[in-house]
Amino acid sequence: MAEPLTAQRRFYVAYIAYWVVWVIVQTSILEWFGLPGIKALADSAVTLTLLALVCILVSNILTYYQPANDVMIYLSALCAIATLVWGFVDKGLLELLVYQHGEYDELLQKSIPIRFCISFLNISLMTAVTLFWKSLEAQKDERSRKDDVERISKEAELYKLRQQLHPHFLFNSLNSINALIHSRPEQARMMVQQLSEFLRGTLKREDNQMVTVGEELQYLKLYLEIEKVRFGYRLKTIFDTTEDALNCRMPPLILQPLMENAIKFGLYGTTGEVEIGLRARKADHYLVVAVSNPYENDMQMQSGTGFGLKSIRRRLYLLYGRDDLMEINQSNNTFIVIFRIPQYNA
């Protein structure tokens, strides 16, 4: 709920200063009309203190109640009633505390219309300020709600993207384990252990918790150990990373689907050794990572949805609000995926 205007500490500082100025102005005017200084100050203090309190009351009424229909009629009536109530109470207090025994009664009577006008204008001003404040707070609340909805939606989509990455990998891994159970049971058991460690690490990671490149590479090596059980000598990986790149931070679980994509398109359909490369550098406040794999021009690339690359591009957009952080190149029989991660604190 929007915070009331009268609950703001800064408001009261400005509010008191505003009425102090009014007291000085009214005291000066009353003295100019012949009222002694003490009485002029007392008149101003009583009148304007009461008016300030009435304005606060009106502001609180508007904060907690405002009709949906006939708003202008309601506001006009509220200002008029508040002015009348203030006028009668103020006149009674002045006669009781300041103008005893009928002193300066003529001046008081002549000033009543002016006092009513000033009171009505101040109450109307307070009404306008309160409504303006309510409008600003309502807009802020609406923006906050939209931000919350977008944040929850983004988190849900990120979670969905991450969850969708695993079934394909699990399917292949379990098929490999099944094939190894009878022929190579020791390797099958090792693969189950590696798969368990890999999935345990996946559960502990969240998209909003950045990890270093070094940590992500350690996690990636678990995945590659599983894949090397499947492909044996055919899978060769080369990491080329600089020291400063290892300390850069990045979203978790991005390298694994990239490497899976490289293995998928690099090894399927071939029988010889295939070299998968990963290169990481830090350049101009960005972490730049490139994953490459060879492919044959005359070989039709493995069919598939390309979900891994699409999901990474989407995750980068959701996390950084940019769609230029990932590019794909194909040249000289090499398929290269390059992505950049902003290093804001670099």
CA distance 107 to 99: 10
In the chain the beta strands, taken as DSSP E runs, fall at 211-212, 235-241, 249-250, 274-283, 286-294, 326-331, 334-342
Q: Which residues pair with 28 in a beta bridge?
A: none
Q: Residues 6 or more apart from 152 whose CB is under 8 A from it?
A: none
What is the overall mean pLDDT for the chain?
82
| 274-283 and 286-294 strand pairing | antiparallel
Tens of pLDDT along 264-303? Answer: 888 876 778 889 999 999 988 899 999 999 877 655 544 4
CB 251 within 8 A of CB 209: no
Average pLDDT over residues 31-50: 88
pLDDT of residue 104: 72
10 SS3 class: helix
Asked whether the predicted pLDDT for residue 126 surpasses 70, the reply is yes
Q: How far is CA 173 from the centre of its chain?
A: 39
What digits encode the pLDDT tens for the residues 73-122?
Answer: 888 888 999 999 998 898 888 888 887 766 677 777 888 888 899 999 99
Q: How many residues does the chain have?
A: 346
Dmax over CA atoms of the chain, in Å, equals 117
Among left, alpha and beta (phi > 0; psi -120 to 50; other), residue 146 is alpha
Q: CA separation (Å) from 67 to 54, 97, 309?
A: 20, 39, 54
For 136-195, write each residue's pLDDT tens digit: 888 888 888 887 777 777 766 666 666 655 666 677 778 778 877 888 888 888 888 888
How crowded is residue 188: how many other Cβ atoms within 10 Å of its Cβ?
Answer: 18
The pLDDT assigned to 153 comes to 72
> What pLDDT, on the 0 to 100 scale, is given for residue 303?
42
Per residue in 18-32, pLDDT tens? Answer: 999 999 999 998 888
pLDDT at site 265: 81
> What domains, with CATH codes, occur in the chain?
5-146 (no CATH), 184-342 (3.30.565.10)
Residue 341: band (very low, low, confident or very high) from pLDDT cuts 50, 70, 90? very high
Query: What would the two tokens of residue 202 be?
Result: 């996946």
CA torsion, points 5, 9, 11, 13, in degrees to nearest 10?
A: 160
Residue range 195-229, pLDDT digits in tens: 887 777 766 665 557 889 998 998 888 888 888 87
Instruction: Say what the pLDDT of residue 160 is.
Output: 64
φ and ψ at residue 36, rounded to 5 degrees: -55, 150
Looking at the chain, the whole-number percentage of residues with pLDDT higher than 90 is: 25
